[in-house]
Structure 1
Amino acid sequence: MEPISTTYKKVWYVTGTSTGIGLSLVKKLLASGKQVVAVTRTPEKVDAEIPLEQKADVLIVKADICKEASVIESIEKGIAHFGKIDVVVNNAGFGIVGAVEELSEEEIRKAFDVNFFAAFSICKNIIPHFKQQKSGFIFNVSSICGWGSLSEFSAYTATKHALNALTFALEQELAPLGIKVVLLSPSGFKTPFVDNNMQHAKVQLSEYNSKERTKWADDIVNNGRGDPDKLNDIVIQVAEMENPPKNVFFGTHAIQYVKSEWKIQREEMDKNVPITISTDYPDAPKIDWE
């Protein structure tokens, strides 16, 4: 299929665009002269937010990113319409509150489907296009939860740890091909994520604090100190960098939380050094680990 228009403008493919960080990014991109493939389950919500004079620069695509056929179709529609895709932002997310014992296999699989496998599918299927044009940029939106562990957020933190690992491996694989990959790790930003995209495990046991955790998450997000518009200003700047960082933390709380986590892990590792090195063969070459 011939593209409707081949554009000199950068074309961004963004998921999770009906609210929050995703919708803010779409608006920022259009205001800065970019073109956008806005992927969403609710196209009418996105359409209502776009000024009439900017509608020519946005293609709103209804897609189920948990199904590879739908992902492929959305990418093909974007390329057919604009002639190319330059930047991908895997922003769509799903949260669930529940301890491991409370969670069903179905619930944790849904979290992985949205937060991990959808991003995997989009990355996998955009790479051939990026290889063909010898350029491209992928942003995967993680969370500070991908750098530590939070009780009663077992599923969510697991998905974000997995996404982190995927992203860093992908960056190494694609760097020789001229394709850039960056992880984004925000802390609490004022968005409707908890209200719209956070669910509870159907089973709730008295031994755990899932209800209190939900109130905590609601306070962190709905009253968050982070400004989504400022975050997206940085994302747009990073996309223009010749040598971008591999990961960007967003929000003061992100620094506070991650430094605390790393300190705890470093202290634990140092404490257990004798145990750790005792497992080597006696004649194994010595390694300077300090």
Structure 2
Amino acid sequence: MSTRRVWFITGASSGFGLSLTTYALEQGDIVIATVRKPETLKHLVQTWSEGQLLILKLDVSNLDDIKDAFRTAEIRFGRIDVVYNNAGVSVMGELESTPEEEARKMFEVNFWGAINVAREAIRFFRDVNNPQGGRLWSVTSGAGLLSIPAFGYYCASKFAHEGAISTLATEIDPKWNIKITLLEYGTFRTRATSSESMVDSLPHPAYADPSTPSSQTRAWVKGDTYIGDADKAVRMLYSKLLTDPNPPLRLPLGHDIIPRLLDQWKNNIQDLERRASWSDGLVTDGRSW
């Protein structure tokens, strides 16, 4: 049996998706690269054969597209070893300024799209792969753990993604041999803040002062402050996470996000410990409703 892994990667046109697609191909693996516009990957077709690279048109907000892509993968390769659930978009804007239509469109991709890909991945690992098993790497963000001014709806979409996938991890039967990891990236140099990937809502007048947290976030986003290298991260994931027999459910990545998470978790623990006694006595007295 071939030792080459088969990857199913969403959002493969840029950023982490493209980095992982390229690196997995270089390692001799098979990649099913899914994108909304297949022509964006025409440069890869010139290098890699059809037996190693399959490019599929996939809009993750379209459930039929998702099912068709997994069906094609089954026909072509018969198995999938790793699903990199990566497609996503963002909206920058205060909760008061972001058009609801834009926020809902983002949820169709970041939440419903990601969850529907995850559901198909689990089904495939359990019902198609022989033997059963596979790895689901679901990309959320540090914004799925931290609250970021001017990105309220984006954070909400990633928090929801985190909640659903972490619950899914508790529902699957261990004997299916399916490993799930949520990848929570900090700031890396990708196309995430470009006009193709991010909607920039006009600031609400009440938040326009440069001293407000949302204004500071906007200035930071537009600055050259992205220190993470996606290619290096992908190589680390391939060498360490892929071979980890007991991978973590959550994996925050990036030197900018780790200190912020540690501070938040410490503060949360302190708050909980200070007020734990407030729950004392909050039990029923035995009377029925």
1:199: which partner in 2? 199
TM-score of the pair, normalised by structure 1? 0.87
Equivalent residues of 2:150, 2:218 under 8 A apart = no
2:222: which partner in 1? 218
Taking the aligned partners of 1:160 and 1:65, their CA distance within structure 2 comes to: 15
Equivalent residues of 1:27, 1:50 under 8 A apart = no
Q: Select the residue among 122, 143, 157 that pairs with 2:155.
A: 157
Taking the aligned partners of 1:247 and 1:240, their CA distance within structure 2 comes to: 16
1:38: which partner in 2? 33
Q: Select the residue among 37, 43, 64 that pairs with 1:48.
A: 43
TM-score of the pair, normalised by structure 2? 0.88
Which letter maps to 1:93? G
Equivalent residues of 1:7, 1:83 under 8 A apart = no
Range 172-181 or range 152-161, more displaced:
172-181
Taking the aligned partners of 1:245 and 1:233, their CA distance within structure 2 comes to: 17
Which letter maps to 2:140? S
The answer on 1:168 being equivalent to 2:170 is: no
The answer on 1:240 being equivalent to 2:239 is: no
Which letter maps to 2:255? T
1:256: which partner in 2? 259
Range 11-20 or range 236-245, more displaced:
236-245
Regions of 4+ moved over 4 Å: 209-212
Q: SS of the residue aligned with 2:20?
A: helix
Identity %: 29
Taking the aligned partners of 2:192 and 2:256, their CA distance within structure 1 comes to: 17
**What residue ranges of structure 2 are gaps of 5+ in the alignment?**
209-213
Query: Which structure has greater helix proportion?
Result: 1
Counterparts of 1:41-80 in structure 2 under 5 Å? 41-80=36-75
Equivalent residues of 2:17, 2:86 under 8 A apart = yes
Counterparts of 1:113-152 in structure 2 under 5 Å? 113-132=108-127, 133=129, 134-152=132-150
Paired residue total: 275
* Pair 77,258 (structure 1): closer, same or farther in 2 beyond 3 Å: same
Taking the aligned partners of 2:236 and 2:45, their CA distance within structure 1 comes to: 21
What is the CA-CA distance between 1:239 and the residue it aligns to?
Answer: 2.2
Taking the aligned partners of 1:129 and 1:53, their CA distance within structure 2 comes to: 25
**What residue ranges of structure 1 are gaps of 5+ in the alignment?**
1-5, 285-290
Equivalent residues of 1:47, 1:60 under 8 A apart = no
1:3: which partner in 2? none
Equivalent residues of 1:14, 1:38 under 8 A apart = yes
Taking the aligned partners of 1:263 and 1:208, their CA distance within structure 2 comes to: 29
Q: SS of the residue aligned with 1:13?
A: strand
Quote the RMSD (CA, aligned, Å): 2.1
